[in-house]
Structure 1
Amino acid sequence: MKLEEPSYFWYAIYTKPNRERKILENLKEQNLTCYLPLQESLRIWSDRKKWIEAPLFKSYVFVKVSYKEFFNVLSIPGVIRYVSFGGKAQAIPEKQIEDIKIFVEQDKTKIAITKENIAPGTKAEVLYGALKGVRGEIVKFNGKFRILIRIPMMGYCLHANISKDEIKILKPEKQSDELKKRTLPQKSIAKTSVRF
């Protein structure tokens, strides 16, 4: 009899403040796939300035686990809980993690993170430039067109400036049953269009 291989999914874990790096080390020691997006920022004191790397999402670390390791993660000191909805941990699509990595790893386009409620936009994929391959929404934000990635279970949006020459508009696609099970239910939102 052949045992079925476990399925691995990405989850966000909520941590105690300033414990993200230590938790990341502990996850790696357990040979778990994990990710902590970091962003450089300039800290200014009265006597000096210094560039530092800080977590992009404060008090969050991403981890990819199956049912086998799921509860082991909760025993790591500093881990509070999985980000959940209705008492159930919400898996994050692999593509969304890949897009976050592209956003963070490129250095030519300044990215921003916000908890602001941004109106929905047209789905698009970036074809050229530093953000090539990212799929998100095209929105107008502070007078500029930006590509936006929503992370609904955490309440965050990542966005960066984009040119109309760098994107292609995507046709609306139906959400698969598996994806519906792993993501938060969305309220119905009126469609908007973007004109360039």
Structure 2
Amino acid sequence: MAAPISSPRWYLIQTKPRQEARAEENLRRQHFECYRPQKHGKTEEPLFPGYLFIRLDRQLDNWYPIRSTRGVARVISFGGEPTPVRDELIEQLRERLAAPAEKPRFQPGERVQLHGGSFRELEAIFVSADGEERSVILLNLLQREQKVRVPTQFLSLCAQPELVMGCRIE
């Protein structure tokens, strides 16, 4: 009976702390196909710190050099067997990371209104985004302007934009 035909699959590698790039470079030098998803922003950061993907054929590729590669901690396994990652997951990651970043919902200096939380129905000035789900706003509290972090979902643009913090009038 002939052996089943195998094909390369993606597997997950755990790297040593903060050595994702080193592990990837050393694996590529050994002619392994690797994928290390990166977040794009002010600086490129790993999407999955401490991990990268490697494409191997379980029946043809020699797994032993992987374990001793600088920067590699281990191959992720269950029951002592390396666990494959679906190709579709890798493709979805690549597509999502290749898509252009969305335009920010608010621009610094724009007047916004709060629609939730403790400051409901107050107006404020948008300062900046603080991650993907929070924003920094300038709120007038007790005759003083205070920077406050709020969930971005609680904000909407005021109906009548005006000049604020040197920004243009619309």
Specify the alignment match of 1:88 in structure 2.
81
> 2:17 aligned with 1:17, yes or no?
yes
Question: 1:109/1:102 Cα in 2 relative to 1: closer, same or farther (>3 Å)?
Answer: farther
Unmatched tracts of structure 1, length 5 or more: 42-50, 111-141, 143-196
1:104 and 1:61 mapped to 2: Cα distance? Answer: 15
> 2:45 aligned with 1:54, yes or no?
yes
Give the match's secondary structure for 2:25.
Answer: helix
1:151-187 deviation line (CA, Å, top 9, x unaligned): xxxxxxxxxxxxxxxxxxxxxxxxxxxxxxxxxxxxx
99-108 or 16-25, which deviates more: 99-108
1:85 and 1:4 mapped to 2: Cα distance? Answer: 22
Displacement of 1:104 after TM fit? 1.3
Aligned-residue Cα RMSD (Å) equals 2.3
The total of aligned residue pairs comes to 101
Give the match's secondary structure for 1:52.
Answer: coil
Counterparts of 1:108-147 in structure 2, within 5 Å, are: 108-109=101-102
Specify the alignment match of 1:184 in structure 2.
none
Specify the alignment match of 1:103 in structure 2.
96
Give the match's secondary structure for 2:66.
Answer: helix
1:13 and 1:92 mapped to 2: Cα distance? Answer: 11
Query: What percent of counterpart residues are identical?
Result: 32
Question: 1:108/1:61 Cα in 2 relative to 1: closer, same or farther (>3 Å)?
Answer: same
Unmatched tracts of structure 2, length 5 or more: 104-132, 134-170
1:58-94 deviation line (CA, Å, top 9, x unaligned): 0001000123232221120121111122322110111
1:77 and 1:100 mapped to 2: Cα distance? Answer: 26
1:118-158 deviation line (CA, Å, top 9, x unaligned): xxxxxxxxxxxxxxxxxxxxxxxx9xxxxxxxxxxxxxxxx
Structure label with greater radius of gyration: 2
Specify the alignment match of 1:126 in structure 2.
none
Question: 1:79/1:103 Cα in 2 relative to 1: closer, same or farther (>3 Å)?
Answer: same
